[in-house]
Amino acid sequence: MSELPLEDFYCIIPAGGVGSRLWPLSRADAPKFLHDLTGSGSTLLRATWNRLIPLSGEQRVMVVTGRAHRAAVEEQIPALTDENVVLESEPRENTAAIGLAAAILERRHPGVIIGSFAADHVIGNEPLFRAAVTEAVAAARAGYITTVGITPTEPAVGFGYIHVGEPLTVSGAKSVRKVVSFVEKPNLKTAKKYLAGGDYLWNASMFIAKASVLLEQIGTSHPEMLAALLELAEAWDDPATRGPAVDRIWPSLTKVAIDYSVAEPAAAAGKLAVVPGHFNWDDVGDFASLAKLNSSGRPTDLAILGENARVLSDASSGIVVSQTGRVISLIGIKNVVVVDTPDALLVTTSENAQRVKSVVEALRLTGSTEVL
Amino acid sequence: MSELPLEDFYCIIPAGGVGSRLWPLSRADAPKFLHDLTGSGSTLLRATWNRLIPLSGEQRVMVVTGRAHRAAVEEQIPALTDENVVLESEPRENTAAIGLAAAILERRHPGVIIGSFAADHVIGNEPLFRAAVTEAVAAARAGYITTVGITPTEPAVGFGYIHVGEPLTVSGAKSVRKVVSFVEKPNLKTAKKYLAGGDYLWNASMFIAKASVLLEQIGTSHPEMLAALLELAEAWDDPATRGPAVDRIWPSLTKVAIDYSVAEPAAAAGKLAVVPGHFNWDDVGDFASLAKLNSSGRPTDLAILGENARVLSDASSGIVVSQTGRVISLIGIKNVVVVDTPDALLVTTSENAQRVKSVVEALRLTGSTEVL
C-alpha cells in the first residue's frame, strides 16, 4: 500500500444539498452536512474532513459550498484557507461544483489527481476506506475515472447500484474492476437479485480521477460547460477577475448531477473503474436510515438523538430527534418518527420517511419558507 | 313544564378532576374544566354555568373546587359570590364534594333540592337538557334520587350505563323510570346489546335529589362520613369555626365516587329514578372523544384545536391540539393524535387514547411532575 498522504492527491468535498428528507432537522441554513447525526460529537462535514486528511494532507482538501454556509464551514474546519474554499453564488448541482474545483486544481497543479467525496455521508472502519481510496487513486493514475462502490449488506432500495464487470490489471489496485453500468434505485425484488448475484455495489458517489480526465469527460457530454469551467478557473486566482467571471459564468452553468454528466457516459465508454469498499457506509438519506444508524444495531431500539432529550415511549423502533428539551410521550405507534424542533414538528413513520421531501415542497408552496 | 328557574332548586358543580387522559392539554394547574374544548369560546366550566343558571338562577349555583383553582374559577364566573364557592383543601373525590355542598345548602335552606352536574362535560340542545332536568326535579320533589341518563347513539365502551326499569308515576315527570342498576363500562359486544335493547342509558353523572335524601343515602353506606359532613356544614358559615373544622375533618373524609356511595346502593334499594335525556352529551374523556367532538361530525376530518395552529397533514382522521404556533407536519399515521404544548408533546393514535393516563402515571413515577 502506498504511503499516506498520497502523492499529488487532492480531495474535493462538495457541501451542497440541504437534505430535504431530513426536514425539519435539516434546513436551508442548517443543511445535513452541518449536523452531528451519529452522536459522535462531529458534524458530518467535520467527520468527512477528518476522514480525508490522512489521504491528502490538510492543505489538499477543497470544500465547495454555498456563500451562506461560509462561516459555518470555516467554524467546522478552522484549518481551511481561502485557497481551499470554493463558494457557490447559487447552487448549480455537483457537476459544476466538482468540475470547477477540478479545473482550479488542474490549473494550479497540472496532472493532479482529485477525489470527490460527499460531505454528508457516514463511513465506518476508516482503514478499509483508506485502503479502497488508495487503490482508486492508483487506478486514476493509470487513467481511469474510478469510483469506490460499497459491498451491499442488504437489498437496499434507497441507493443506486454499480454493475461491476471484469477485473482490470492496474499496479497498486489489486481489486479494481471495470464498471458495466450505473443503475438507478431498484425495487426490492431487483435489489435482492443484485445482493445475491454479487456483481452489484452501492453507488456512494465517490469519484477519483486525474482532474484533466474528469474535465475531459465533462467536455465529452457538455462541451460548453467545460469551456465555461476552464474560463472560470482561469479567472479564479486573481481577485480582480474572479468576481466578474463568477457573476457572468456561474449562473449559466448546466445543472446536472455528476452521475449523469460523468459516471454514466464514462461507464458506457468503458473508461470507468470501481474499487469495492468493504467498510460500512450510509448516505443517511432519510429518517428511516437515521433511525437504523442510531439504534445501536438493535432493530428493536427506539433511536433518540438530542442532548437534552426527555422521551417516554412504548415504541421499540423508530426515532426521536429532540432539539427542545420538551417531554415527548409516544404511545402505540410502530416505527414512529418524531422530529421536535423549536419552530417545526414532524410526526411520521419510517415507512413514510421518503415522503418527507413532499412536506418541504408543500411548505414552500404554502409560503411557510421561514421553517425550511 | 314548570316555570324556570325551578323553585327551591340549587345546582352544584363539582369542578375537581384534572382529566389525566387529556394530558398534556389538561394539567394539575389547568384542569380539563378550565379549557375550551369545543372552540365555543367558553371553558367547559363556564359553559356548564351558562347551561345551569336558567334552571336555578345565578344565585343558586354552588361550585366546589380546589383552593388552587379559586382565582381561575372566579375569573370564569365573576358572578360567583363567596357564599357559592366551596374550596377543597385537598381532593377527596366527589361524594365529599357534593355531600358537603348538599349539607351546607340543606342547613341554609331546609328542604332544598340539589342537582349535581360535572363541570367538564359537553352538552348540545339545551332546551332538551332543561326539560329533562325539570322532570328530574319533579321526581326529586317526590322523594326519589334521580339521574338523567343519556339515550345512547352508538355502542360506546367508554361510558358506564344505567339499566332502566319500569315507568314511575310522578306528577311533572312523565318519562321518569325506575333504575334497575348501574353497570360499568361494557365491552363492545355488550355495548351493542345495550344499544339494541333500548333499556340502557349512558350514565352522565347527574344526580338530582332533595339534599336531605341524598345525605341520608350517603349515611346509609357511610354513616361516619355523613356525621362528618354535617359537622363541617354546621361550622361552615361562621368564619371563626370554618377553618378549624376544615383542617380537622376534611382530610378524614372517605374518598369515594358518588356512583358507589349513592347511586349503586340507592338503585339496589329501589330508590333511584331516571329521566331519559335526548340531548347530545359527551364527557370528553380522552382525545378520541375530543377528536370526534371537533371533527364537525365528519369522521374523515382531522380535528384541529388551537388558535394559531399551523398543520400540514395527510391525515383524514384524528386530532391535533396546538398551543405553540409551530408548524406541525403529519405524514401517514391513521387516527393520529398530536398534542403540542410549550413543555410537553404527546404523539399517539385514537385507538391508544385511553392509555394516556398511564403516561401521566409514568411521568409521576419518574419525577417529571413539572409537566403534570
Residue A196 is part of a domain; what is its CATH number?
Answer: 3.90.550.10
The reply to whether residue B329 touches residue A368, judged by beta carbons under 8 angstroms, is no
The reply to whether residue B347 touches residue A347, judged by beta carbons under 8 angstroms, is yes
- Can you tell me the distance from the alpha carbon of B41 to that of B39, in angstroms, rounded to the nearest whole number? 6
**Distance in Å, alpha carbon of B297 to nearest chain A alpha carbon:** 25
Q: Tell me: do B317 and B330 sit in the same domain.
A: yes
Q: Tell me: do B292 and B228 sit in the same domain.
A: no
Of A278-282, B1-5, B142-146, the one with minimum mean pLDDT is B1-5
pLDDT digits 0-9 by tens, B138-186: 999 999 999 999 999 999 998 999 999 999 999 999 999 999 999 999 9
How many CB atoms within 10 Å of residue B370? 11
Q: Tell me: do B215 and B262 sit in the same domain.
A: yes
The reply to whether residue B327 touches residue A344, judged by beta carbons under 8 angstroms, is yes
- Can you tell me the distance from the alpha carbon of B228 to that of B224, in angstroms, rounded to the nearest whole number? 6
Mean pLDDT over B347-351 rounds to 96
Is residue A146 within 8 Å of A273, Cβ to Cβ? yes
pLDDT higher than 80, residue B300: no
Mean pLDDT over B92-103 rounds to 97
Cα atoms in the Cβ-side hemisphere of radius 13 Å centred on B362: 17
pLDDT higher than 70, residue A226: yes
Q: Assess if residue A1 is contained within a domain.
A: no
First to last CA, chain B: 46
How many CB atoms within 10 Å of residue A198? 10
Q: Assess if residue B2 is contained within a domain.
A: no
The reply to whether residue B312 touches residue A366, judged by beta carbons under 8 angstroms, is yes
Q: Assess if residue B1 is contained within a domain.
A: no
Q: Tell me: do B235 and B291 sit in the same domain.
A: no
The reply to whether residue A347 touches residue B355, judged by beta carbons under 8 angstroms, is no
Q: Tell me: do A241 and A313 sit in the same domain.
A: no
Q: Tell me: do B304 and B339 sit in the same domain.
A: yes
The reply to whether residue A327 touches residue B349, judged by beta carbons under 8 angstroms, is no
**Distance in Å, alpha carbon of A234 to nearest chain B alpha carbon:** 47
Q: Which of B312, B314, B322, B331 to mutate to test the interface with A (most CBs of A within 10 A)?
A: B331
Residue B296: pLDDT band by 50, 70, 90 thresholds? low
pLDDT higher than 90, residue A2: no
**Distance in Å, alpha carbon of B345 to nearest chain A alpha carbon:** 5
The reply to whether residue A342 touches residue B326, judged by beta carbons under 8 angstroms, is yes
Q: Tell me: do B99 and B162 sit in the same domain.
A: yes
Q: Which of A331, A348, A357 to mutate to test the interface with B (most CBs of B within 10 A)?
A: A331
Q: Assess if residue A105 is contained within a domain.
A: yes
Residue type, B96: A
- Specify the DSSP class assigned to residue A12: E
Which residues of chain B have a CB within 8 Å of the CB of A350? none
The mean of the pLDDT values for chain A is 95
What percentage of chain B exceeds 90 in pLDDT?
A: 92
The reply to whether residue B349 touches residue A368, judged by beta carbons under 8 angstroms, is no
Q: Residue B335: which of B273, B270, B288 has the closest Cα?
A: B288
Instruction: Tally A–B CB contacts below 8 A.
Output: 104
The reply to whether residue A347 touches residue B336, judged by beta carbons under 8 angstroms, is yes
pLDDT higher than 90, residue B17: no
**Distance in Å, alpha carbon of A20 to nearest chain B alpha carbon:** 14
The reply to whether residue A348 touches residue B332, judged by beta carbons under 8 angstroms, is yes
Dihedral, B232, B237, B243, B248 alpha carbons, nearest 10: -10
What is the helix (H) or strand (E) element at residue B227, kind and residue range? helix B223-236
Which residues of chain A have a CB within 8 Å of the CB of B346? 329, 331
The reply to whether residue A331 touches residue B348, judged by beta carbons under 8 angstroms, is yes
Quick one: pLDDT at residue A300? 65
Which residues of chain A have a CB within 8 Å of the CB of B348? 329-333
The reply to whether residue B329 touches residue A355, judged by beta carbons under 8 angstroms, is no
Q: Tell me: do A214 and A353 sit in the same domain.
A: no
Of A340, A343, A363, the CB nearest to B312: A363
Quick one: pLDDT at residue A62? 98
**Distance in Å, alpha carbon of A158 to nearest chain B alpha carbon:** 19
- Specify the DSSP class assigned to residue A262: I
What is the helix (H) or strand (E) element at residue A128, kind and residue range? helix A126-141
Quick one: pLDDT at residue B299? 60
The mean of the pLDDT values for chain B is 95
φ, ψ of residue A11 to 5 degrees: the values are -100, 140
Quick one: pLDDT at residue A315? 84
Q: Who contacts A100 (Cβ-Cβ below 8 Å, separation ≥6)?
A: A64, A86, A229, A232, A233
pLDDT higher than 70, residue A157: yes
Of A78-87, A137-146, B180-189, B291-300, the one with minimum mean pLDDT is B291-300
Mean pLDDT over A130-135 rounds to 98
pLDDT digits 0-9 by tens, A32-74: 999 999 988 999 999 999 999 999 999 999 999 999 999 999 9
- Can you tell me the distance from the alpha carbon of B130 to that of B114, in angstroms, rounded to the nearest whole number? 15
Q: Tell me: do B198 and B323 sit in the same domain.
A: no
Q: Assess if residue A182 is contained within a domain.
A: yes
Among B266, B282, B298, which residue terminates a domain? B282
φ, ψ of residue A80 to 5 degrees: the values are -65, 130
Q: Assess if residue A2 is contained within a domain.
A: no
Of A9-23, A252-266, A277-291, B295-309, the one with minimum mean pLDDT is B295-309
Quick one: pLDDT at residue A39? 86
Q: Assess if residue B4 is contained within a domain.
A: no
Cell numbers found for residue B177: 323510570
pLDDT digits 0-9 by tens, B234-282: 999 999 999 999 999 999 999 999 999 999 999 999 999 999 999 999 9
Sheet holding B303-305, edge to edge: A310-313, A327-330, B344-349, B336-340, B318-322, B303-305
**Distance in Å, alpha carbon of A368 to nearest chain B alpha carbon:** 8
| Chain B positions touching chain A (beta carbons under 8 Å) | 24, 310, 312, 326-333, 336, 338, 340, 342-349, 351-352, 355-356, 359, 362-363, 366, 368, 371
Q: Tell me: do B31 and B90 sit in the same domain.
A: yes
Instruction: Please give the radius of gyration of chain B, using alpha carbons only, rounded to the nearest integer.
Output: 21
Which residues of chain B have a CB within 8 Å of the CB of A348? 329-333
Residue of chain A nearest B364, judged by CA positions: A312
Which residues of chain B have a CB within 8 Å of the CB of A351? 332
Of B24, B340, B362, the CB nearest to A345: B340
Is residue A228 within 8 Å of A99, Cβ to Cβ? no
pLDDT higher than 70, residue B294: yes
The reply to whether residue A346 touches residue B356, judged by beta carbons under 8 angstroms, is no
φ, ψ of residue B109 to 5 degrees: the values are -135, 80
**Distance in Å, alpha carbon of A38 to nearest chain B alpha carbon:** 24
Q: Tell me: do A87 and A129 sit in the same domain.
A: yes
**Distance in Å, alpha carbon of B156 to nearest chain A alpha carbon:** 22
The reply to whether residue A332 touches residue B340, judged by beta carbons under 8 angstroms, is no
Q: Tell me: do B295 and B236 sit in the same domain.
A: no
Complex ipTM, two decimals? 0.89
Which residues of chain B have a CB within 8 Å of the CB of A343? 326-327
Which residues of chain A have a CB within 8 Å of the CB of B351? 332
Instruction: Please give the radius of gyration of chain A, using alpha carbons only, rounded to the nearest integer.
Output: 21
Residue A86 DSSP SS3: strand
The reply to whether residue A347 touches residue B366, judged by beta carbons under 8 angstroms, is no
Tally the domains of chain B. Answer: 2
Q: Who contacts A265 (Cβ-Cβ below 8 Å, separation ≥6)?
A: A217, A220, A221
Question: In terms of residue numbers, what domain contains B358?
Answer: 287-371
What percentage of chain B exceeds 70 in pLDDT?
A: 98
Which residues of chain A have a CB within 8 Å of the CB of B356? 329, 331
Q: Assess if residue B304 is contained within a domain.
A: yes
Q: Residue B165: which of B134, B196, B201, B129 has the closest Cα?
A: B201
DSSP secondary structure string, A345-362?
EEEEEGGGGGGHHHHHHH
Q: Is B336 exposed, middle or buried (0-12, 13-18, 19+ CB in 10 A)?
A: buried
Quick one: pLDDT at residue A221? 94
Among A282, A316, A350, which residue terminates a domain? A282
Among B282, B309, B324, which residue terminates a domain? B282
